[in-house]
Amino acid sequence: MMKVTLIGAGNLATQLGKSLKKAGVIISQVYSRTEDSARTLGELLEAEWLTDIKALHDEADIYIFSVKDSVLCELISEVCKGRGDKLFLHTAGSMPMSCFEGKALRYGVFYPMQTFSKTKDVDFERIPVFIEGNSIETEDVIRSLANKLSQRVIRLSSVDRKYLHLAAVWTCNFTNYCYTVASDILGEHGIPFDVMLPLINETTEKIQKISPKEAQTGPAVRGDRNVMSKQLELMNGKEDLQELYKMLSKGINPLMDNLNLDKR
């Protein structure tokens, strides 16, 4: 049976580890610099856990790095040394495969494009996994691993994956920040955020049938200066939000450049 060691014990590593175990992959070890994280995930996956990178053994077939970009290269240098026959993968959307060059013989990328949280399980079968390998043989192994989890496995170069990750930030991270802004506004007036869920769901369902551009609605796309001016007034004292509101509105409708929203 395939054995995997996880380098990292955060959100992605947790969900990936659980899905791999469910698919019959043995999780050999879990490493994290944080003892609580290493222990929690290690016990969950019935794997040895450790906080000393030098204590990693060589029993795993694949070592998967799921860590912050800022420490990835450092950990790659430490882990790959002396393990020439192993396969090394990272899960970062914004980091190139080349960070393994000169440090490993068999390496690649295993990037599941989804937002992950430790406490919210995901259905990996529905998550697109983007892969890349430094050779055809290596890529075949990575694809075999990905096929154990996902119904959609796509080969993508490091260059294109950077743009994919950028698009994901716009699609998920910035959108979620807008939800946070909305939640704060509602909270200030005693309105529960869950009243927004039907709106969120309808928007999400709509863009599965028509393009996002076609699905755009609201005062900006209509050029409704009256409504926009009143909403800007509601955010008096919150200059950052006012600027963001105006910037997004002009992005939705370039004609907003001809509407001086400051003259209200």
Beta-sheet strands, E only, within the chain: 3-7, 26-31, 48-50, 62-65, 87-90, 106-112, 129-133, 153-155
pTM of the model: 0.90
Q: What is the pLDDT of residues 144-192, one digit of tens each?
A: 999 999 999 999 999 999 999 999 999 999 999 999 999 999 999 999 9
Instruction: Answer whether residue 42 is part of any domain.
Output: yes
The identity of residue 91, as a single letter, is T
Residue at a domain's end among 138, 156, 174: 156
Identify the CA nearest to 60 among candidates 99, 30, 19: 30
Integer Cα distance of 11 and 116 in angstroms? 5
User: Could you tell me the two tokens for 143?
Assistant: 């694809």
150 and 190 co-located in one domain = no
169 and 232 co-located in one domain = yes
110 and 174 co-located in one domain = no
138 and 168 co-located in one domain = no
Q: What is the pLDDT of residues 5-61, one digit of tens each?
A: 999 999 999 999 999 999 999 999 999 999 999 999 999 999 999 999 999 999 999
82 and 166 co-located in one domain = no
Three-state DSSP class for 228?
A: helix
In degrees, to the nearest 5, what angle opens at C-alpha 58 toward C-alphas 7 and 56?
45
Instruction: Answer whether residue 263 is part of any domain.
Output: no
152 and 167 co-located in one domain = no
Instruction: Answer whether residue 58 is part of any domain.
Output: yes
Residue 74 has pLDDT above 90, yes or no: yes
Residue 264 has pLDDT above 80, yes or no: no
The DSSP code for 39 is H
Q: What are the distances in angstroms from CA 169 to CA 101, 245, 247?
A: 27, 19, 18
**CATH number, domain at 235?**
1.10.1040.20
Q: Which pLDDT score is estimated for 255? A: 77
Q: What is the pLDDT of residues 219-263, one digit of tens each?
A: 999 999 999 999 999 999 999 999 999 999 999 998 776 555 554
What is the domain range of residue 198?
162-258
53 and 181 co-located in one domain = no
110 and 187 co-located in one domain = no
Q: Residue length, the chain?
A: 264
Integer Cα distance of 228 and 245 in angstroms? 9
Integer Cα distance of 177 and 165 in angstroms? 17
Integer Cα distance of 31 and 79 in angstroms? 11
**CATH number, domain at 113?**
3.40.50.720
Integer Cα distance of 261 and 243 in angstroms? 10
Number of domains observed in the structure of the chain: 2
Integer Cα distance of 103 and 194 in angstroms? 49
Residue 92 has pLDDT above 90, yes or no: yes
Integer Cα distance of 264 and 256 in angstroms? 14
Instruction: Answer whether residue 264 is part of any domain.
Output: no
The residue to which tokens 């469910």 are assigned: 22
112 and 171 co-located in one domain = no
24 and 98 co-located in one domain = yes
110 and 186 co-located in one domain = no
Instruction: Answer whether residue 57 is part of any domain.
Output: yes
Residue at a domain's end among 124, 156, 188: 156
